[in-house]
Amino acid sequence: MCFFYDDTGSTYFIILSRYCNIYPVDDSPDEVILFSNKNAAKISVPKSMLEDIRSGSLSEEERTTLAELGFLVASAEEDRKEILCFLDKLNKADRIFSLQLVMNLDCNLDCGYCFEGSRKGRHYLTSGDAHAFIVFVMENLKPGVEELGITFYGGEPLLSKDLIASISSEIRANAKQAGVKSTGKLITNGTLLVPAAVEKLSHAGVRSVRITLDGPADIHDKARPFRGGGGSFRTILKNLKEIVGMIDIDLSGNFTRNNYRRFPELFEQLSDAGITPQDIFSLQFYPVLQDAEGMVNCHFKEGCSSLNEPWIYEAEIFLREEILKRGFRRSKIIPTACMMELTNRFIVNYYGGIYKCSGLIGREEYKVGDIASGIKNYHIS
């Protein structure tokens, strides 16, 4: 522990944060990389600086810089308090009211790992509930909110394309009147994302789409076939080529332990189709998770039961390196929290039930309210 003095002569402590990770630099043995789990700051420093920290021989400039980046703290107790207050600070600073709206639980694909599983069916948001949703959103805009974000989700949300356009248009008009910026986003399998649909939705205020491609064609087609049979990859790729430049495009995909090393083949297939890294706003892949027994994945056994399984770390690093070295953009590593802990994040099911996690929709015991009666105090449930 190191002792320093401020201008008043009072003693204070500067120690290395317990949330600082230290990594070697392979091609420079005299350097280390410091990474802060608190704020995702990273810096390369001489290895000798670690001893300077322990002995208290840092220069004032070094001490100030490392403290500002979160690597040095006043005390272990202050370090702990900062982490415990992280969610409070995050929620206090949040200026976005963000909702996912489940348009339906119907789909034209038959994915083996489908997250909706036994909840799937011809269940659709009605025009009446769509109006009630808009009223709910506008009535729950808190003072200080600067942006309203609506993500349209499914099932396959484009089976409800016209209703999405209607909701998005009305939300945008109401938000503008309230002096709030509004953004619309669509999560889709991409099979119905033809230029006419994109033009209609863009005009209504939908600014970005996220499309799922589960690796190269043969892997994707096995994982995400059409409900009537046959692969969906060629259809999605054709649509993707035709909408480039019309709307921001995020690409995502879901990998398993057995197939993630083949995902880079997808990049070559995108390139062969004339789709460049500049055409894609961001690209990221996720492991397939096993959900609760009796709800989904009852016959799918290739998913992981926990994000802490060691192979996932290897897969994430491998895929991140492959994405970045080809020039694609990927989401930055930043400290964040599950939407369960974020006060301005909710999911609204097709019948108006309000939830805090997409994995919980349809489970009445986890509902935190509905668009008719509002949000209840779910913290004491």
> What is the average pLDDT across 325-345?
86
**Beta-sheet pairing, 96-102 with 147-153:** parallel
For residues 49 and 58, is the Cβ–Cβ distance under 8 A?
yes
> What is the average pLDDT across 203-208?
96
Contacts for 73 with CB less than 8 Å, ≥ 6 apart: 14, 15, 16, 17, 67, 79, 82
Measured CA to CA, the distance from residue 377 to residue 369 in angstroms comes to: 9
pTM of the model as a whole: 0.86
Torsion of CA 185, 211, 107, 347, to 10 degrees: -40
What pLDDT score was predicted for residue 11?
Answer: 38
- The DSSP secondary structure of 224-255, one letter per residue, reads SBBTTSSB-HHHHHHHHHHHTTTSEEEEEEEE
**What digits encode the pLDDT tens for the residues 102-146?**
999 999 999 988 877 777 889 999 999 999 999 999 999 999 999
> What is the average pLDDT across 52-67?
90
- On the question of pLDDT at 5 being above 50, the answer is no
What pLDDT score was predicted for residue 299?
Answer: 65
Measured CA to CA, the distance from residue 301 to residue 292 in angstroms comes to: 12
- As given in the structure block, the two tokens for residue 320 are 């991140």
- On the question of pLDDT at 306 being above 90, the answer is no
pLDDT band at 307 (very low <50, low <70, confident <90, very high): confident
What pLDDT score was predicted for residue 26?
Answer: 87
Measured CA to CA, the distance from residue 174 to residue 303 in angstroms comes to: 42
- On the question of pLDDT at 93 being above 50, the answer is yes
**What digits encode the pLDDT tens for the residues 350-374?**
999 999 988 888 888 899 999 999 9
Measured CA to CA, the distance from residue 61 to residue 67 in angstroms comes to: 10
- On the question of pLDDT at 1 being above 60, the answer is no
Measured CA to CA, the distance from residue 119 to residue 151 in angstroms comes to: 20
Segment 30-34 long-range contacts (CB within 8 Å, at least 24 positions apart): 34/66, 34/71
**What digits encode the pLDDT tens for the residues 237-291?**
999 999 999 999 999 999 999 999 999 999 999 999 999 999 999 999 999 886 6
What pLDDT score was predicted for residue 290?
Answer: 67
pLDDT band at 171 (very low <50, low <70, confident <90, very high): very high
- As given in the structure block, the two tokens for residue 275 are 């789709």
The pLDDT mean for the chain works out to 90
What pLDDT score was predicted for residue 292?
Answer: 55
User: Which CATH code is given to the segment(s) 89-374?
Assistant: 3.20.20.70
Q: Which residue has the higher pLDDT, 11 or 67?
A: 67
* Strands of the chain, DSSP E: 2-5, 11-16, 20-24, 31-36, 42-46, 72-73, 96-102, 147-153, 181-188, 206-212, 248-255, 282-287, 345-348, 353-355, 369-370, 374-375
3-state secondary structure of 63: helix
Measured CA to CA, the distance from residue 305 to residue 289 in angstroms comes to: 6
What pLDDT score was predicted for residue 291?
Answer: 63
**Which amino acid does the sequence have at 315?**
A
Least confident of 56-70, 286-300, 344-358: 286-300
3-state secondary structure of 194: coil
For residues 152 and 187, is the Cβ–Cβ distance under 8 A?
yes
- As given in the structure block, the two tokens for residue 210 are 């996220």
What pLDDT score was predicted for residue 355?
Answer: 95
Helical (H) or strand (E) element with 128? helix 127-139
**What digits encode the pLDDT tens for the residues 175-202?**
999 999 999 999 999 999 999 999 999 9
Structural domain spans, the chain: 2-84, 89-374
What pLDDT score was predicted for residue 335?
Answer: 73
For residues 226 and 108, is the Cβ–Cβ distance under 8 A?
yes
- On the question of pLDDT at 2 being above 50, the answer is no
C-alpha distances in Å from residue 89, one per residue of 18, 82, 261: 20, 9, 39
What pLDDT score was predicted for residue 380?
Answer: 63
Tell the residue number behind the tokens 């046959």, with chain if given.
230
